[in-house]
A and B are shown apart, each in its own frame.
Chain A
């Protein structure tokens, strides 16, 4: 985390969301920022120089407004605790949701995208998540060829996945 990230984290914790950005009283902000950086006023000035903040008059004093929405949203996500999820449940839900109604199989490429959205993680993290769940619960899934992404299990390649309990009973 660099000084800009830190400045935004503190802003997210202390500030109040307004139309222009997140507003926080100047003194409160620099006092808190000063716990981690030697020159908090210099950091504020730096934020202003790079267009990520502005300093405005506010009554008798001043306020800092952190203006970079994208960065604030990233910091917000960072500060929001992740929902406790059971990995197996997430995967089973995803497969059932995305399965072809006739075959019961879901495309592994679609499942990776589902995990990305469901857990708000990157593609790589979603892939790692999928591999881990399958490794630990191999008996809960069956695989078939096809699909838009390939999963290599031992020496075989598969692209479709189905939940085992859905495969038990003959369906028609």
Chain B
């Protein structure tokens, strides 16, 4: 049952709920309107990862998804080397195409590099390596290069949060050098709060390209999900009584025959301040 609650990587994602499809459309329109640093903001279970993965296979451009969950560090080196490592097959295709063109200089070296050399280069010179990839997709007519960074539920209390913020700040500062690159990050609300407190220049840029996912499913989303799972209208009032639900909680209810406790929905009246 648990597997139904996590996004299915490697296969096409079907977004349920008009609110989530609207979010995808908004992100895609920002990608095409030349926004270079975008953030998908939402609480745990809001569907940030699913939305990011739904960009796989976008019609025009090159999408590279990276999951930082299992990566120890969150600095720029760690992020960029993971982007290259997670998408090495796509990078190899780009290298092959480059080899068929008469290119010189650094791009030629980039085209010839082995996967290990590419990942090592991304680790040692993250922005320079990204610039080469940016230039390659531009040259091959594969732009824009859309990089989706799933930060892996980094919270404000995580000591690596500052490394992550500094890394995103580096993207911000170098946007002009990589004009065909679009970076989309996922953020929990508490990390957004932290950024607003510790890095106002980054916050100011992020707020221009941010999407806040719906924190709970609306009536329309709920109807669509219920229809998809073949539930009747009579179940609607039962779900309503549970209060505002995240999309993950709703999908969990569908898969557990409405077991609120298993789905982590707090129906207990006990509320205290710790």
Contact = CB atoms under 8 A, between A and B. Distances in A.
Nearest to A123: B273
B55 interface: no
A150 B215 CA distance: 19
A94 interface: no
B221 to A, nearest CB: 10
Contacts of A149: 273-274
Query: Which residue of B188, B189, B191, B273 has the most chain A CB atoms within 10 A of its CB atom?
Result: B189
B22 interface: yes
Contact of B273 (A127, A141, A143): A127
A156 B218 contact: no
Given A138-B243, A164-B244, A105 B193 contact: yes
Contacts of A78: none
Nearest to A139: B243
Nearest to A124: B273
A153 B243 CA distance: 13
Interface string A137-149: 0110111111101
Contacts of A141: 244
Chain B, interface size category, equals: 35 or more
Nearest to B187: A103
A145 B190 contact: yes
Closest 10 CB pairs of A and B: A146-B190, A154-B266, A167-B215, A103-B189, A144-B43, A154-B268, A105-B189, A150-B274, A103-B192, A142-B215
Interface of B: 19, 22-23, 26, 30, 39, 41, 43-44, 155-157, 188-193, 196, 203, 206-207, 210-216, 218, 243-244, 264, 266-274
Given A103-B41, A170-B211, A172-B211, 12 more contacts: A100-B196, A102-B207, A102-B210, A105-B189, A107-B193, A139-B244, A143-B43, A153-B270, A164-B216, A167-B214, A168-B214, A170-B22
